Copies of this chain bind each other. A is one copy, B any other.
Amino acid sequence: MPTDPLFDSQQSLVDQKKKLSYTKILNHLFNQGSSSIAKLAKEIHTSVPSITAMLVDLQQNGWVIEKGAAKTKSGRRPVFYDINGAKKNIFILDVNLYQTNFIFVNLRNEIITKTTFDIDLEDEHYLKEISKEVDQLLKVNDLPWAIGISAPGLVETSSGLNHSHLKLNKDGKSLADVLEKKYSIPVFNINDTRASLLGEHHYGLAKSKKNVLLVNLDWGVGLGILHNGTIVEGASGFAGELGHVQIYPDGELCNCGKIGCLETVASASTIVKKAKRGLNNNQATALSNVDSEITLSEVIAAAINGDEFSIDIIYEVGRELGKGLSMAVHLFNPETIIIDGILKNAGDLIVSTVKQSINKYCLSPFKTNLDVVISPLGDDAKVFGTKSFVFNKMMEYYVN
């Protein structure tokens, strides 16, 4: 759909190969940052004069900009080139349970505008309200290159349909389909947890790692899986559903209809539930001083301030999560586990407990080189991950 003189050539073999080389250069600059002609030539397996010629093309078309000479130990200083961040904007719909964010971001992670819209994902008029807002924003801003939708739940790869949050679909069509048709801009779907993992992979803790798990510990439990540097999607796009793995054969009934799911013992909801139950039983806790109904952040804050009752609640959730994660560790053998989602605010209280639990439930070869860490990027990971996802899809789109 989006035309670009550089990529809209005839389909001769030479043109095909040149397009492939262009995308290789752009991918390299996008993912590995700025580079010199000599370095690119080595990476792309192409001669220096060819790279030079292609960089001229890319510069003329505004894809690439010169960054001046870099310092080196000896010899002539190479001129560095970088992707032109301002060349394209990507419009991101960051869909959450209780609010949806609209973000315009450019190729170099610079956020142009961010609008927050409070709306419940289960709202009857969700799609209508969102469409209105998108309409408005696309009128005011420059037309984006592509649109990315990051949403929770089971998103089917082929159709884009969300199987968990049905209000995101309309008459058997996905929100992505609707937007794509309306604005003639490519739209891509990604599950929110996977987007965060991709963000961490490109800009955060998983930068040089190839086998990583990211747990999204929120009102539910999602898992993002990085295998050999690629995100695991599964046959239909549903991979990483850790929340409904059975942990207790005779546990509580989960709202999915099954029994003893991980979500029933390890999620934000569990924490609030347990805190309320304890207060009703008049347990000794700093939380008794709170007047209104107890919220998650209050429990976490109390725990961080040393309230034993709250700490115990978080410990228990950490233990259960660790137990669930140890299954994933046995199946994937990751080198790092990143903890993300609201509960990452509990910091080391949760990390140390998860570690302990993994040590208990995993066979020893699996835990010798295993790190458990808190996501450092926070919410940005999701936005930047979605952006990277969209960029890569657009590059595929160009070469095919």
Which A positions have Cβ atoms within 8 angstroms of B? 13, 16-17, 20, 45-47, 154, 156, 163, 210-211, 223, 225, 227-228, 230, 232-242, 244-249, 256, 258, 323, 326-328, 330-335, 361, 363, 365-366, 369
Q: Given A241-B363, A361-B246, does the pair A334, B369 have CB atoms closer than 8 Å? A: no
Kindly provide the distance from the CB of A9 to the nearest chain B CB, expressed in whole angstroms: 15
Residue of B at shortest CB range from A238?
B333
Report whether A333 and B235 are in contact in the complex, using a CB–CB cutoff of 8 Å: yes
Q: How far is the CB of A116 from chain B (nearest CB, A)?
A: 30
Contact (Cβ within 8 A) A366 B241: yes
Report the minimal beta-carbon distance from A329 to chain B, rounded to whole angstroms.
Answer: 9
Interface SS of A by simple majority: loop
Write the chain B residue with the least CB distance to A240. Answer: B331
Evaluate whether A232 and B363 lie within 8 angstroms (CB atoms) in the complex, with A13-B47, A45-B13, A327-B245 already known: no
Within the complex, the shortest CB–CB distance from A93 to chain B, in Å, comes to 22
Apart from the given pairs A154-B365, A236-B366, A244-B363, 19 other A-B contacts in the complex at a CB distance below 8 Å: A17-B45, A211-B235, A225-B331, A227-B227, A227-B230, A234-B332, A235-B335, A236-B369, A239-B333, A241-B331, A241-B333, A241-B363, A244-B330, A246-B327, A247-B249, A249-B249, A258-B361, A327-B331, A331-B331
Instruction: Name the one of B240, B244, B333 contacting A237, with C-beta atoms under 8 angstroms.
Output: B333
Chain B residues within 8 Å of A330, by CB: 241-242, 244-245
Most-contacted residue by chain B among A47, A323, A327 (CB, 10 A): A327
Bound state CA distance, A349 and B242, in angstroms? 29
> Does A236 lie within 8 Å of B333, measured CB to CB?
yes
**Residues of the B chain whose Cβ atoms lie less than 8 Å from the Cβ of A225:** 331
Q: Give complex CA distance A210, B239 in Å.
A: 13
Of all chain B residues, which has the CB nearest A246? Answer: B361
Question: Do A211 and B228 have beta carbons less than 8 Å apart?
Answer: no
List B contacts of A46 (CB < 8 A): 13
Q: CA–CA, A183 to B256, complex, Å?
A: 58
The chain B residue sitting closest to A209, CB to CB, is: B235
Instruction: List the B side residues contacting A20 at CB < 8 Å.
Output: 45
Question: Which residues of chain B have C-beta atoms less than 8 A from A246's C-beta?
Answer: 323, 326-327, 361
Given contacts A13-B47, A47-B13, A230-B228, contact A235 B210 (CB under 8 A): yes
Q: Contact check, B366 vs A238: say whether CB atoms are below 8 A apart.
A: yes
Point out the residues of chain B lying under 8 angstroms from A230, CB to CB.
Answer: 227-228
Contact (Cβ within 8 A) B332 A239:
yes
Whether A234 and B211, one on each chain, are in contact in the complex, defined by CB atoms closer than 8 angstroms, is yes
